[in-house]
Chains A and B, each alone.
Chain A
Amino acid sequence: MVMPPDEPKFDDLYKELILDHYRYPHNRGVLEKPDVDMQQHNPVCGDKIRLTAIIKDGAISQIEFLGQGCAISQASASMLTDRVKGLNLGDVDKLSINFRDMLKGGKPDEQLMQDLMSLQGVSKYPIRIKCAVLAWDTLQEALGLK
């Protein structure tokens, strides 16, 4: 009989912080005259994220998101906007790599991750990883990183 490798708990996935961001998202909206405006969706589950951002002197000065989807995808987008605001593009890239690595089970840099640490539990749910990275994929595409 095939059993799951270990028994993750419900709260590992849906941390209080995630639910807060889901219920009361930060930086929700669409910026006027954005430098970048990018939308992506997950064809499998229909989750959608649109990001608009203003880039000044090689750094993200403003960023907002609109989206539709599950708690994980929407909370991840909300946290992303909080975390990348003010960062230069090089740091965003570093953060994005570290974040993806964490979701694949890698050891995250806690100082770098900050609140994003709350999404670490997603790594135990392979089919939900795509929910958590959707906003990051959108950002990377918007910024021409990759």
Chain B
Amino acid sequence: MKEMSVRNDFPIMERLIHDKPLTYLDSAATSQKPAVVIDALADFYRNNNANVHRGIYTLSEESTLAYETTRDKVAKFIKAGSERNIIFTRNTTESLNLVAYSWGREHIKPGDEILITPMEHHSNIVPWMILCNEMGSIIKYIPLDDDGTLDLSNLDELISEKTKIVSLTHMSNVLGTINPIKEIIAKANKVSALSVVDGAQGAPHLPVDVVDLDVDLYAFSAHKMLGPTGVGVLYGKDEVLSSMRPFLGGGEMIDEVYEDRFTWKEAPLKFEAGTPNFADVAAFGVAIDYLENIGMHNVRKHEIDITNYAMEQVKKIDQSIKIFGPENLDIRGGVLAFDFPGVHPHDVAQMMDWDGIQIRAGHHCAQPLMRRLGVSATARASFYIYNNEEDVDRFVDSLKKGGEYFGDASR
């Protein structure tokens, strides 16, 4: 495996955990940040800080420029037609809630169907449930095969005239499955259903082209792609955004306010009420430059290599270990959730922590999926550009040790 020479760009990699070198394997939850991004945030506060879109003075102009330049970079990053199509939010969760509120409350009627999948993160389930509770619509699921891929055999029946929204994840944060979203979006478009993609794991790890996908709305979070926390993105097609009502009300989003009524701005500002998180957005622009510089095809290639290596090594430890999700790396991202019978995920994660290894244990905000897999929790390692073979080796050694330590449980 060719190593990516970026590890040294991430200052946290110097950190020791319990006197061991840090092995960070939880990038699906949040990524680490390169020094350029950390510095950009401090630089912004040191040199350019002022509120955006307001003042007629140098600092405010600089600040607005930084904010709007990132919008431009985000648009180019996902090949959107224009920066007009890019709305800044707090995170993927807020982006999806915005859609459920501003599109859902405007267009959904009792009996309408919202189609999702069993592998969704809670943030792509609960907003639809809230909408259904309010509007009397119904949630339906595309079934999941045992190999961790969607069963599309009945898709033509599932997507019907009643279907008003089809919302699914680009890549599962538990199974690693990369869904055939283009094919599903095409079916949704045919019946004029709104197509929504949760790109929380897509944008950080895969090349994305929203125009080619022909998707109506695409949501993701900066913090999972080397950027700061507190910034999310919602991409939307022009006609879709203009058919949505505003989300929050307040400053920035309004055009004119009278004693008894108000008018609002066009997208994207229509959806950005209040002072936005402009400092973090400015730093996010640097994260995008950094990723563009590496190239998303190279990011993807690196993750295929490291996931391949990790799957091979984990299988060698013990035959009883079950790795969830598809074997085929063409449709699998850098996520490795597994079940080690007799060795509980929490105990594994705790034990690995002593070896400096940071992995996730729990339901990964996907309880319906856990139920479908027949487990209450799983342990998960996930990879990004800074991980190397050595990380995998340390993880595998520690997992072996865990098997010896906890294994043999008489159940």
Chain A positions within 8 Å of B, measured between CB atoms, are 7, 10, 13-14, 19, 22-25, 44-48, 68-72, 125, 128, 131
Using Cβ atoms and an 8 Å threshold, which residues of chain A touch B345? 70
A46 close to B376 (CB less than 8 A): yes
B406 close to A22 (CB less than 8 A): yes
Please tell me which one of the listed residues A19, A69, A71 contacts residue B376 in the complex, with CB atoms under 8 A apart: A69
Q: How far is the CB of B19 from chain A (nearest CB, A)?
A: 9
Interface centre among B18, B347, B411 (most CB of A within 10 A): B347
A46 close to B377 (CB less than 8 A): yes
The reply on B410 being an interface residue by CB < 8 A is: yes
A48 close to B376 (CB less than 8 A): yes
Using Cβ atoms and an 8 Å threshold, which residues of chain A touch B408? 23
Q: Which residue of A lies closest to B409 (CB)?
A: A23
A–B pairs, 5, beta carbons within 8 Å: A22-B409, A44-B362, A46-B376, A48-B376, A72-B347
Using Cβ atoms and an 8 Å threshold, which residues of chain B touch A25? 410-411
Q: How far is the CB of B309 from chain A (nearest CB, A)?
A: 27
How far apart sit A44 and B375, CA to CA, in the bound complex (Å)? 13
The reply on B370 being an interface residue by CB < 8 A is: yes
How far apart sit A144 and B8, CA to CA, in the bound complex (Å)? 58
How far apart sit A23 and B405, CA to CA, in the bound complex (Å)? 10
Chain B positions within 8 Å of A, measured between CB atoms, are 18, 344-347, 350-351, 354, 361-363, 370, 375-377, 405-406, 408-411
B405 close to A14 (CB less than 8 A): yes
Q: Which residue of A lies closest to B370 (CB)?
A: A46
How far apart sit A71 and B348, CA to CA, in the bound complex (Å)? 10
How far apart sit A24 and B354, CA to CA, in the bound complex (Å)? 25
Q: Which residue of A lies closest to B408 (CB)?
A: A23
Q: How far is the CB of B104 from chain A (nearest CB, A)?
A: 27
Interface centre among B344, B361, B409 (most CB of A within 10 A): B344
Using Cβ atoms and an 8 Å threshold, which residues of chain A touch B362? 44-46
Q: Which residue of B lies closest to A41 (CB)?
A: B376
How far apart sit A81 and B350, CA to CA, in the bound complex (Å)? 26
Using Cβ atoms and an 8 Å threshold, which residues of chain B touch A72? 346-347
Given A25-B410, A46-B370; A68-B347 close (CB under 8 Å): no
Q: Which residue of B lies closest to A48 (CB)?
A: B376
Using Cβ atoms and an 8 Å threshold, which residues of chain B touch A23? 408-410
How far apart sit A23 and B408, CA to CA, in the bound complex (Å)? 7
